[in-house]
Amino acid sequence: MSRPIYVLTEGDIGEVLPHRGRCRMVDTAEVFFGNENQPPWITGMYFVPRDPWWQYGHFPGNPMMRGGDMVDLLAQILGLLIRFAYPDLRGKKAMLCGVEEVKVRGIVRPGARLRLEAGAGDLRRHLGVITGSAKAFLLPGDGQATEEKLVCEGTIILAVSDELPA
């Protein structure tokens, strides 16, 4: 098993991701470097609050995390990978610009723990676009799962630039 090159705390993540408050969802992360046969990858954790803002409207009496938030979570973990695994992209901002073949495969409720993983695929630096695959797994506990379960996966496309659009 590989050892992580970077172990990121909430403070480290806050310095890199532009998201603030409830919009930043990655709590911890570890970046791993591969070799010539395997590109870098990242794993992370998100601890869904027991009283998330969305529980009162999605859906009243039966709260579940929105699929769009799961996609944003995957984009955030891939954005962290890009910033730490590719030195030439360290000062850049990564923004979600597309998704492909995303599947929400399970329900995530308040209090859940999600394990995240992502790997970069196609890096088209000349276009400022990076594609990667990402997954979220529901971890056992809190009566939500008895074993690790894939709840969301897909291909995430990020635009990379020097500044966020105004």
Assign a CATH topology to domain 6-161.
Answer: Thiol Ester Dehydrase; Chain A (3.10.129)
pLDDT (mean) for 60-87: 90
Helix runs in the chain, H state only: 10-16, 67-85
Question: Contact 11/4 with Cβ under 8 angstroms?
Answer: no
Residues 6+ apart with CB under 8 A from 19: 25, 76
Q: Give the range among 55-64, 123-132, 136-145 with minimum mean pLDDT.
A: 123-132
What pTM value is reported for the model? Answer: 0.89
* Average predicted confidence (pLDDT) for the chain: 87
What's the pLDDT score for residue 166?
64
